[in-house]
């Protein structure tokens, strides 16, 4: 299996530049990797020790961030290298102040892994959640560099637990330690003979719990909401909008609605505007406007959603109405508000658990969404009680970062 994996990776390395001509995101994926080794040669200080954090994209970066912050505080002698697999992660975080070097991860070929580690020679490598790259892990093991999986999440249908998954099981065995989100993940790893595991929980809870301590003030949001009930619909896709718009266009409730679509391309925003019959305005057009006169505000920008949730009385989180994947429900939950999502959430344990606790509602269609939302608007006590469950859910699941830091303190020679 290993020769086949390496062959496929090598073919991909040669073929992707051609495919990138027809796909802007893929083009970024290719172009960004062309300069990885030159960037490392220029920016890595051979006299310094590095801790390497690898995240697939933005969500995984948010999981790494609490650990990076604590490491910077407690183990300040180490420099921080962050790598991303996807353009959406790298392009949004390439100038993040907590890192000393930020770059793409080269494709997982044996030569790339050797060259990368020769340049970086990290003290420890941290991989986040699902990032399992066999050649990098093998090379780290050969060089006696510790590798740790943080906030790991495993499911029974993954290749590691299939009869034909020997190659990927061997890749997993290179990790020095696993910090996993839940007991099911721990049991699955133990079923294939891996016992170097700590049930830590998910560092995302630590990340979102800190948001409430920051300054979340947004003057435009206060002016727009104007002391009315506010529904924030975050990270929406067209499938979510089909659920939302019948309510938005027909409700007689005095409610303000903020929509943060997942894609903010001009054609997507125009299509969104055409579906809205209420008075709407884009964030990019709010200057010199009396925002209190509008019913719907469209966030055609990035980076504000976390703070905007602090103004919500009800949150709808997108991704589960279709098959794109549920977005982060923990961001609004930390502010103690009820959360509504679509029906496709079976691969998201935090959504399953929060629904069991009655802090989250799953709806199949626009009618169900309208019924749930109208009840939450009309019954303030019910709304606040449901939101309290969400807030408690966050607070009762923090602590994963402390568990990882405690492990680091115990490592010989690491200080």
- Please tell me the predicted confidence (pLDDT) of residue 25: 74
Q: What is the pLDDT of residue 34?
A: 84
Question: What pLDDT, on a 0 to 100 scale, did the predictor assign at position 387?
Answer: 98
Contact criterion met (CB below 8 Å) for 218 and 311: yes
pLDDT band, residue 414 (cuts 50/70/90): confident
Cα separation, 234 vs 262, whole angstroms: 8
Whether pLDDT at 240 is above 90: yes
- Give pLDDT, residue 6: 79
Does 108 have pLDDT greater than 80?
yes
- Joined together, the tokens standing for residue 297 give 């505000």
Phi/psi at 105 (nearest 5 deg)? -90, 125
Look at the domain 1-201+399-410 and name its fold. Answer: Rossmann fold (3.40.50)
379 in the Ramachandran plot: left (φ > 0), alpha (ψ -120 to 50) or beta? Answer: beta
| Residue 18 pLDDT grade (very low, low, confident, very high; cuts 50, 70, 90) | low
Nearest to 71 by CA among 118, 116, 117, 123: 123
Rounded to whole angstroms, the Cα distance separating 296 from 369 reads: 17
CATH label, 217-396, candidates 1.10.3720.10, 3.40.309.10, 3.40.50.720, 3.40.50.2000? 3.40.50.2000
Specify which residues 51 forms β-bridges with.
80, 124
| 65: Cα within 13 Å, side-chain hemisphere | 20
> Average pLDDT for residues 3-13, to the nearest whole number?
77
To the query of whether residue 60 is one of the catalytic residues in this protein, the response is yes
**Percent of the chain at pLDDT exceeding 90:** 85
Tens digit of each residue's pLDDT (9 = 90 or more) over 348-407: 989 999 999 999 999 999 999 999 999 999 999 999 999 999 999 999 999 999 999 999
Q: Are 188 and 161 in contact (CB under 8 A)?
A: yes
Mean pLDDT of 90-106: 94
Q: Which of 60, 131, 331, 350 is labelled catalytic? A: 60
The mean predicted confidence, pLDDT, of the chain is 93
Per-residue pLDDT at 363: 98
pLDDT value of position 14: 72
Q: What is the pLDDT of residues 243-282, one digit of tens each?
A: 999 999 999 999 999 999 999 989 999 999 999 999 999 9
pLDDT for the residue numbered 113: 96
Q: What pLDDT, on the 0 to 100 scale, is given for residue 16?
A: 65
Model pLDDT, residue 7: 77
Is the pLDDT higher at 306 or at 27? 306
The whole-number pLDDT of residue 402 equals 97
Q: What's the pLDDT tens digit per position in 289-333?
A: 999 999 999 999 988 999 999 999 999 999 999 999 999 999 999
What mean pLDDT do residues 41-45 have? 96
Average pLDDT over residues 149-154: 96
pLDDT recorded at residue 209: 94
Residue 21 above 80 pLDDT? no
pLDDT above 80: residue 412: yes
Q: Residue 69's CB: how many other CB atoms inside 10 A?
A: 15
| CB contact at 8 A, 250 and 242 | no
Domain ranges for the chain: 1-201+399-410, 217-396
pLDDT, position 415: 77
> From CA 340, how far away is CA 343, in angstroms rounded?
10
Q: pLDDT tens across 320-332, in order?
A: 999 999 999 999 9
Q: What is the mean pLDDT of residues 102-107?
A: 95
pLDDT for res 162: 93
């Amino acid at each position: 299996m290993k020769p086949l994996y390496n062959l496929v990776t090598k073919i991909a390395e040669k073929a992707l530049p051609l495919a990138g001509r027809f796909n802007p995101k893929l083009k970024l994926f290719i172009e960004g990797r062309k300069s990885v080794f030159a960037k490392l040669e220029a920016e890595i200080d051979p006299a310094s020790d590095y801790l390497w954090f690898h995240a697939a994209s933005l969500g995984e970066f948010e999981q790494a961030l609490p650990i990076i912050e604590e490491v910077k505080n407690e183990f300040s002698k180490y420099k921080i290298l962050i790598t991303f697999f996807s353009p959406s992660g790298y392009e949004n975080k390439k100038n993040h102040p907590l890192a000393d070097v930020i770059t793409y991860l080269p494709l997982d070929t044996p030569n790339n892994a050797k060259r990368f580690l020769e340049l970086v020679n990290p003290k420890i490598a941290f991989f986040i959640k699902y990032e399992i790259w066999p050649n990098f892990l093998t090379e780290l093991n050969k060089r006696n560099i510790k590798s740790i999986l943080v906030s790991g999440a495993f499911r029974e249908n993954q290749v590691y637990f299939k009869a034909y998954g020997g190659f990927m099981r061997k890749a997993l065995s290179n990790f020095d330690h696993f910090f996993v989100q839940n007991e099911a993940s721990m049991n699955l790893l133990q079923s294939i003979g891996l016992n170097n595991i700590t049930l830590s929980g998910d560092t995302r809870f630590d990340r979102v719990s800190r948001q409430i301590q920051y300054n979340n003030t947004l003057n435009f949001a206060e002016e727009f909401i104007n002391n009315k009930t506010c529904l924030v619909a975050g990270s929406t896709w067209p499938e979510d909008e089909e659920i939302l718009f019948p309510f938005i266009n027909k409700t007689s409730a005095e409610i303000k609605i903020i929509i943060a679509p997942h894609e903010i391309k001009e054609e997507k925003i125009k299509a969104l505007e055409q579906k809205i019959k209420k008075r709407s305005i884009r964030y990019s057009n709010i200057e010199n406007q009396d925002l209190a006169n509008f019913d719907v505000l469209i966030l055609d920008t990035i980076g504000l959603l976390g703070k905007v949730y602090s103004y919500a009385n009800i949150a709808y989180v997108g991704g589960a109405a279709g098959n794109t994947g549920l977005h982060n429900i923990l961001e609004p939950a930390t502010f103690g508000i009820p959360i509504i999502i679509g029906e496709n959430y079976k691969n998201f344990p935090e959504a399953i658990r929060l629904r069991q606790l009655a802090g989250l509602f799953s709806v199949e269609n626009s009618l169900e969404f309208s019924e749930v939302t109208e009840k939450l608007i009309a019954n303030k006590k019910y709304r606040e009680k449901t939101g309290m469950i969400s807030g408690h859910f966050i607070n009762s699941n923090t602590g994963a970062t402390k568990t990882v830091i405690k492990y680091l303190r115990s490592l010989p020679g690491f200080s």
